[in-house]
Amino acid sequence: MQGLSVRKVQTLSAPGMYGDGSGLYLRVGPTGSKSWVLRTVVHRRRRDFGLGSASLVTLAEARDAAQSLRKIARAGGDPDVARRRETLTFGMAAQRVHDNLLPSWRSQRHGEIWLGGLKRYAFPLLEHRPIDTIATADVLSILAPIWTTKNDTANRIKQRLATIFDWAKGAGHFSAENPVAGVTKALPNFRPRPEHMASLPWQELPPFFRELGQREGVSARALEFLILTASRSGEVRGARWNEIDGSTWTVPAERMKSGKQHRVPLSKEATAVLETVKGLDSDLIFPSPSRDRDGNGRPMSDPVFKALMDRMRRTGQTTHVSDLLSATGAARARTQIERLQRPPFHTALETKSKEPMPAQIFSNVVDH
C-alpha cells in the first residue's frame, strides 16, 4: 500500500479511510474533519485507536504514536490501558483515592482535611506530574522542609502519600516500589518533645467560670457547655440541634472518638447555655461566625478554645475537662474529678445510680 504524504493529507477531502500502512489511517469525516486512527489487533480482537486530529498531529507524529501502540499490542498489552497510565497524574490519583476512602470516614470534613493537606504540601510539586515518573527523591522534597518544624503534619502527609502510591501500584498505574517506603532513612531521626498543657488549680475554677459567663461570643458558650457536659472539643463544636431531645444530648457514633453512640444527661445549667444560642443556626448549635460557600453554617475550628483561653490570659492551659482541674490542691478536687470520670456520667439513661450526675457535681464545685 502506498503511504500518505504531507501534501496528500492536506488535499484529501472526500469522506473515507485512507491508509498509510501498518494499520495507520487518515479518517476524513462528512464535514471534512480529519483525524488519525490506528487499526490493530489486541488480544485477538480488531480495535481502532484514535490518535488525534490531523490539524494538531502531524503525519510523522501519527506514525510514531501508531508504532508505539502496535509495540504494546504485540507484547500482549492493551494500548488503552497504557495510555491511561501515561496520562494519570498525581493529582488525579490523589482525588481517586480520596473518593474511594470518603465513605469510610466519619465525616466529610475529615475528607476535606485529608485532601487539603495534600493540596498544600504535595500538589505544588507533584499535582501535574505523571504518577509513574515520581520517585523517592520527589517525596523527600515534600517532607524534608516540614519534617522537624511540623513533624505531626509531615507524618500525616507521608501516610497519605503511601496510601496513594499503594493504590496506584494495585491499579496498574505504578510499577516500581512505593517511593515512600525508603524515604524515612533519608530524613532526620526526629522525636518531638511532648508539650504538656497546664491544668487549672481547682481553687480557681469558680472565678474562671464566672469570668467565662461574662464573656460574649459563641466560643465562650461552647466552652461552658463543654465543661458542664465533660465532653471533648470536637463533640461540642460539631453538636447539632437534632441531637438534643429534652434534657438529653445524644452524640452519634460517627462523631465519637470511641465510635459508639454517647448519651449525655443535661443539667439545668447546660440547658440554659443552649437557650442562649438558639436561633444562631438551624443545624449547628455552636456555629462558626463565618459560613461556607453555600451560606450554610459550619463548625468552629479546632483552635477556637485555645484562642479563647489566650484572650482570658490563660495561655497554655488545657480545655479538656478531665485535665481542667489540678488534683494536687485538695482531696475534695480529687473526689470530684473521679466522680466526673466514672461511667454513670456518660452511660445510657436507663442505668440506675445513686451517685450525683456530673453536671450536679460540677455545679457544686462552681457554687463553693
Tell me the pLDDT tens digit for each residue of 44-72: 889 998 888 888 788 998 898 899 888 88
Strands 297-299 and 262-265: unpaired
Start-end of CATH 1.10.443 domains in the chain? 200-367
Per-residue model confidence (pLDDT) at position 241:
94
For β-strands 325-326 and 200-201, DSSP reports them as parallel
Q: What is the pLDDT of residue 209?
A: 79
Given pLDDT bands bounded at 50, 70 and 90, which one contains residue 202?
A: low
What's the pLDDT at 311?
85
Where do you find CATH 3.30.160.390 in the chain?
6-77
CATH classification of 6-77, choosing from 3.30.160.390, 3.30.465.10, 3.40.50.720, 3.10.290.10? 3.30.160.390
Question: Who's near 274: CB < 8 A, 6+ residues apart?
Answer: 225, 244, 266, 285
342 Cβ contact partners less than 8 Å away, ≥ 6 residues apart: 355
pTM value is 0.45
Q: Has residue 364 got a pLDDT over 80?
A: no
260: confidence class by pLDDT, cuts 50, 70, 90: confident
Q: Is 368 exposed, middle or buried (0-12, 13-18, 19+ CB in 10 A)?
A: exposed
Average pLDDT (329-347) is 41
pLDDT, tens digit (0-9, with 9 covering 90-100), for 104-154:
876 777 888 899 999 999 999 999 998 888 999 999 999 999 998 888 899
Is residue 118 within 8 A of residue 160, CB to CB? The reply is yes
In this structure, which CATH number among 1.10.600, 1.10.443, 1.10.260, 2.60.120 belongs to the domain 200-367? 1.10.443
CB atoms within 10 A of CB 264: 26
- For residue 88, what are the CA distances in angstroms to 36, 121, 123, 141? 23, 20, 14, 21
**Residue 244 DSSP SS3:** strand
pLDDT at 299: 87
Nearest CA among 56, 49, 61, 64 for reference residue 34:
56
DSSP 82-129: HHHHHH-BHHHHHHHHHHHHGGGSS-HHHHHHHHHHHHHHTHHHHTTS
- Region of poorest pLDDT, from 265-269, 288-292, 363-367: 363-367
Handedness of CA 249, 252, 257, 260 (dihedral sign): positive
* Distance (Å, whole) CA 131 – CA 267: 55
The CATH homologous superfamily for domain 90-186 is Tyrosine recombinase, N-terminal domain (1.10.150.130)
CATH 1.10.150.130 in the chain, residues? Answer: 90-186
Instruction: Tell me how crowded residue 256 is: count the other CB atoms within 10 A of its CB.
Output: 16
Average pLDDT of the segment spanning 238-256 = 90
